[in-house]
Chain A
Amino acid sequence: MLLDVVNLSKRFKHVQAVKEVNMHIQQGEIIGLLGPNGAGKSTTISMISTLLKPTGGDVYFNGKSIIKDPKSIRRKLGVVPQEIALYLDLTAEENLQFFGKINGIKGKKLKSRIEEVLEWIGLAERRKDVVKKFSGGMKRRLNIGVALLHEPEIIIMDEPTVGIDPQSRNYILETVRRLNQQKGMTVLYTSHYMEEVEYLCDRIYIMDQGEVIASGTNEELKDILSSEQTITIQVERLHKSFIDALIADSALKKVDNRDKTVTVIAPKKYPFFKKITGYAEQTETSLVSVEVKAPTLEDVFLHLTGRALRD
């Protein structure tokens, strides 16, 4: 095991931010840490990165406690913070030079590492441009590039695609995948976008309110919903009485409504068409569509917490 997280906890005065989190990462895996904002993902990875001292538990890198000896893991870690941790008034190349130098890379080695990293993140042509003139996506790519300079064994990414356009997002996802496939890099990827985690990760840990509430591969997690189905109902106008009728139906496990869409989780054998059209008739609600979807991680989260990931 490359990284073992054992009963990791963090308490800030009156708030228990992380509660006894356990996590295991093998060499070459891409691990996803999924959860809504405030779930405790960033605090967890700050502790794994040795930036924050836990109040309980430990993290072992190749069997060695990183709390007792944080320096031993730091050289092997590449951390991509959620913030753009760069000097915006310097060029891309000057930023890489600075972060390379403080990581002890010098001379020709530094030059060749900068070349390689710029190629990886697709910014070779823009190396002389000042970072503040970059688009959000380019800044995020350079943010990742800086973490790759010293050739880490494991890269920890905290929401690396926040606030960027879909094209840049795809570029970053592809870069992460290539790093894993071509360089064998281990990746711990946190996000609240379930489709990113679903697309990239070999295994996923779902966090909510400081705890890991489920873990496994994509399929294993979705199997949690094997005896259930997710039904999405579109209505012309949402009446409260319609929602009340759905909630009152004890067979339905979860009811989540947003604008004109209602999502419910029901048992596989639930006669959904007859029941839902019946409730619509009773409450004078005009249905637009009723759809049974294959379960997603979003549904798993809804099933486990009663709330949507985006809440």
Chain B
Amino acid sequence: MIAILQTKFRLLLKKPLMFIGMTGMGLLFAFFLGMGQYSKMMVPVFSNIENLEKTEIWEQLQESESIAFYIVSEKEAKRAVSEGKVEAAVSLSEDSYEIFVVSGTPNVQFIQHYIHSIYSDILLKENIRKEWKNDEDGAEALINQLEQVRENPLFQIQTGTFQMENSFVYDNRLQSLFGMSLFFVIYTIAFNVVHILQEKTEKVWDRMILSPLRKWEMYTGNLLYSFLIGYVQVVLIFTVFKYLTGVNFYGGFGKTLLLLIPYVFAIIALSMFIVSVVKNIQQYNAIIPFISVSMAMLGGAYWPLEIVSSPILLTLSKFVPITYGMESLKGATVYGASLNELIEPVSILILMGVLFISLGIGLIERRSE
């Protein structure tokens, strides 16, 4: 078995392009798709308020670090929403606002919350002025004092949320990082597991059968290599993002490295199963992109499953390893779950792995006879 591993790594050193390519693709896609959090969300605004740019509402809207409000006509704003170019548009009046959306997303809630807080603030100031109408200076002094207190609070108060069981926390950078890593590693693993089929076709496998090597050593040598190479790829991507770009793993970096193990195992097992049912390498090469892209779509690698509402798609996602990979990785990071709490997705991945690998090896052996 050691000889098999040595030879596989020797072959990798001679032909490292596939590994480098898939790791690079994972890094690039995760980086560019995760950039959304750095750039501001664009939100068109239209209003019946004259000289909107000079109002306090506009001033406060411009202070947002994550939303860029810009003024357009009502027609343009509505068109941008209907064409999906922006997530929401806002109509501003003196004492009320309206938000136009096509579908409710977490960002829409965020926009609403932000505008609501601005209107509340302005209303508070107006009320102070109304109550102190006889003492304008006093009113302004109070407002200034209020603002100063807000800017320099006596106590630094940090706020957190108690998450409801089904609440959705969305971290775009981690979503992209986990999704793209789990997606691209399928290719790396699948195109390594297929070496078993290739060696069978080229009769290298027969030479191994005729040697004193045992069958389990032949399978383990090949699959262990695929496991190591797949695991190293994802660990490498996670490490780059954690230490070079400073992605926040919410203190769960170590846990994510552990949780990758059952996922990589399940993908190896699935590849093995596919190897056992295809007729030849060409068929395998054609089927893998189809399966990996479908799995990534269903399993929430491209977008969070939480925004999927179709019961059919959600049911299908239950049969896809990526679903449980994403669930466990996000659980360990954004949801702050302990390893014990993630026992369910981990168990399903292990079960899938055992099932697929048994079926795969069984079918391959049966076909050889």
Report which A residues bind B (CB closer than 8 A): 49-53, 74-75, 77, 79, 81-87, 89-90, 94, 98-99, 101-104, 130, 146, 150
Contacts and interface: CB of A to CB of B under 8 A. Distances in A.
A45 to B, nearest CB: 11
B212 A75 contact: yes
A83 B203 contact: yes
A51 B203 CA distance: 11
Nearest to B201: A83
B133 interface: no
B3 interface: yes
B15 A102 contact: no
A87 B212 contact: no
Interface stretch (B6-14, B42-50, B262-270, B288-296): B6-14
B206 A85 contact: yes
Nearest to B209: A51
A245 to B, nearest CB: 49
Contacts of A98: 3, 6-7
Contacts of A74: 210-212
B211 A99 contact: yes
A79 B206 contact: yes
25 contacts: A49-B210, A51-B209, A51-B210, A74-B210, A74-B211, A79-B206, A81-B203, A81-B206, A83-B202, A85-B206, A87-B7, A89-B14, A89-B15, A94-B10, A98-B6, A99-B211, A102-B4, A102-B207, A102-B212, A103-B211, A103-B212, A104-B211, A130-B14, A146-B207, A150-B211
Interface string B1-41: 00110110011001100000000000000000000000000
Contacts, number: 64
A157 to B, nearest CB: 13
B7 A90 contact: yes
A85 to B, nearest CB: 4
A85 B14 contact: no
Given A53-B369, A77-B210, A102 B3 contact: yes
A87 B213 contact: no
A71 to B, nearest CB: 8
Given A49-B206, A74-B211, 16 more contacts: A50-B210, A51-B210, A52-B369, A74-B210, A79-B207, A83-B202, A87-B11, A89-B14, A89-B15, A90-B10, A90-B11, A90-B14, A94-B10, A101-B3, A102-B4, A103-B212
Nearest to B2: A101
A85 B207 contact: yes
A131 to B, nearest CB: 11
Contacts of A130: 14
Nearest to A100: B3
A120 B330 CA distance: 60
Contacts of B203: 81-83, 85
A-B pairs, top 3 by smallest CB distance, nearest first, are A85-B203, A101-B3, A81-B203
A101 B204 CA distance: 14
A75 B10 CA distance: 26
A83 B208 CA distance: 14
B116 to A, nearest CB: 63
A85 B202 contact: yes
Nearest to A74: B210
Say what secondary structure dominates the interface of chain A. loop
Nearest to A78: B210
Max chain A Cβ within 10 angstroms of own Cβ: one of B7, B201, B209: B7
Max chain A Cβ within 10 angstroms of own Cβ: one of B15, B201, B207, B210: B210
Interface of B: 3-4, 6-7, 10-11, 14-15, 201-204, 206-213, 369
B278 to A, nearest CB: 19
A178 to B, nearest CB: 23
Contacts of B15: 89
A79 B207 CA distance: 8
A50 B369 CA distance: 11
Contacts of B208: 102
B204 A86 contact: yes
A49 B210 CA distance: 8
Contacts of A146: 207
A240 to B, nearest CB: 42
Contacts of A51: 206, 209-210
A77 B212 CA distance: 12
Given A90-B7, A90-B11, A102-B4, A85 B204 contact: yes
Nearest to A94: B10
Contacts of B6: 98, 101
Given A51-B206, A84-B202, A85-B202, A102 B211 contact: yes
A5 to B, nearest CB: 18
Contacts of A90: 7, 10-11, 14
A98 B6 CA distance: 9
Nearest to B213: A102
A79 B7 contact: no
A84 B201 CA distance: 10
B196 to A, nearest CB: 14
B205 to A, nearest CB: 8
Nearest to A101: B3
A79 B203 CA distance: 11
Nearest to A102: B211
A85 B14 CA distance: 19
A239 B4 CA distance: 62
A150 B207 CA distance: 12
A79 B210 contact: yes
